[in-house]
Amino acid sequence: MKEKKKIENSKLGLMVLAGLLFLVYTLYMIGKNQNIFGSSITIISVVENVNGLVPGNNVRFQGIDVGTVKSVEMANDSSIHITLYIHKKMQPFIRKNAITSINTDGLMGNKIIHILPQDGNADPIEEGDILYSKQPLDTDEMLEKLSITGDYLEITLRNLSEVSDKLNKSESLWSLLSDEHLPQEIKNTILEFKKAGSNAAALAKEGKELVEEFEQGKGIVQKAFKDSVMAENLSESIENILKTSSEAATMMEEIRKIVNNIESGEGTAGLIIKDSLMREILMKSMENIEQSTYNFNQNMEALKGNFLFRKYYKKQEKELRKEEKNQKKD
């Protein structure tokens, strides 16, 4: 009986001891989280509105919990002092030019205070330093902005619905989209554009080469501009062509007069033989015709040697020789 009682007392003692150890561990963890047992420094953050921040809330720096809120006190009618516990080991990383911001942990979580680093050189924080805050984001203001955004979103969705209805009711649009020949026509159009682009590129390349040859003193155009002999021959050829054209016109006018005179006489052969004036006119006309023919032949020979027509006459000679060969074969 006594042994059974001793066993029960031992069990009770073990349970009490385990409970005490758990209580001590819990108190230690709470104290550690609240910086009660750890080494820490205190700094002050000056804000205008705490937005529900209370002692015990976490302090975060770069997303890491670096301390807790010790106290929240009203300094005057426009500012509030928040005393913060900061882990001693985090002191070298937090600078004196940092600012604080009160936010919510998640969408509807507890309030937390963020320490935000700033650009520029500054010393690490020390005991009793003061950090100033930026304007906190008010939840009511945020919800109001979300409400306005929702209204705009509703209007946008309504407009999209109207556009969708109009597109569904548009027979011309659907007939255009269902046209089987349209894709091929579009492809052909694109190919034509590509072909036109290629031709334009080739033309631009040839023009560039022509300009480069002209600048380098090469090419037939440059020779025509710089070669005085060739330029003079070209000028003479043009003058001869104009002169030949004028003489041919004169010749045709004289022939027309002769024909008219012959047709108005009693007989063509008798009039030519008996009428001495007509005979002189006819002889003169024949001389003019011979002279004009000679001049024209001279001009044509000059044109054959000209660079502008040389290629054409060479081509004519090749075709003539080809025809002669074909005739000999036949």
Q: What is the pLDDT of residues 194-206, one digit of tens each?
A: 777 777 777 777 7
Is residue 227 helix, strand or coil?
Answer: coil
Name the least confident of 16-25, 51-60, 124-133.
16-25
Nearest residue to 80 via CA among 137, 136, 41: 136
Higher pLDDT, 123 or 135: 123
Q: Do 14 and 99 belong to one domain? A: no
Q: Do 106 and 194 belong to one domain? A: no
Q: Do 76 and 122 belong to one domain? A: yes
Stretch 124-141: mean pLDDT, rounded?
79
Provide the mean pLDDT of the chain: 74
* 299 in a structural domain: yes
Nearest residue to 73 via CA among 54, 58, 99: 54
Name the DSSP class of 39.
-
Q: Do 27 and 65 belong to one domain? A: no
* 277 in a structural domain: yes
pLDDT at 308 over 60: no
Q: Do 118 and 194 belong to one domain? A: no
Of 216, 240, 266, which residue is a domain's last? 216
Higher pLDDT, 74 or 242: 74
Q: Do 15 and 48 belong to one domain? A: no
Residue 131 is inside which H or E element, if any?
Answer: strand 130-132
* 84 in a structural domain: yes
Q: Do 43 and 129 belong to one domain? A: yes
pLDDT tens digits along 238-264 = 666 666 666 666 766 666 666 566 555
First to last CA, the chain: 148
* 247 in a structural domain: yes
The domain containing residue 149 runs over which residues? 139-175
Is residue 87 helix, strand or coil?
Answer: strand
Name the DSSP class of 57.
-
* 328 in a structural domain: no
Hey, which of 20-24, 53-57, 271-275, 277-281 has the most confident mean pLDDT? 53-57
Q: Do 52 and 127 belong to one domain? A: yes
Residue 308 is inside which H or E element, if any?
Answer: none
Is residue 101 helix, strand or coil?
Answer: strand
pLDDT tens digits along 217-229 = 555 555 555 555 5
How far apart CA 251 and CA 294 sit, in angstroms, is 13
Q: Flag whether the pTM goes above 0.85.
A: no
pLDDT tens digits along 155-184 = 988 888 888 887 777 777 666 667 677 677
Stretch 125-142: mean pLDDT, rounded?
78
Q: What is the pLDDT of residue 270?
A: 45
* 106 in a structural domain: yes
pLDDT at 32 over 90: no
* 221 in a structural domain: no
Total tally of structural domains belonging to the chain:
5
Q: What is the pLDDT of residue 274?
A: 46
Q: Do 91 and 125 belong to one domain? A: yes
How far apart CA 202 and CA 199 sit, in angstroms, is 5
Q: Do 26 and 43 belong to one domain? A: no
* 168 in a structural domain: yes
Q: Do 235 and 307 belong to one domain? A: yes
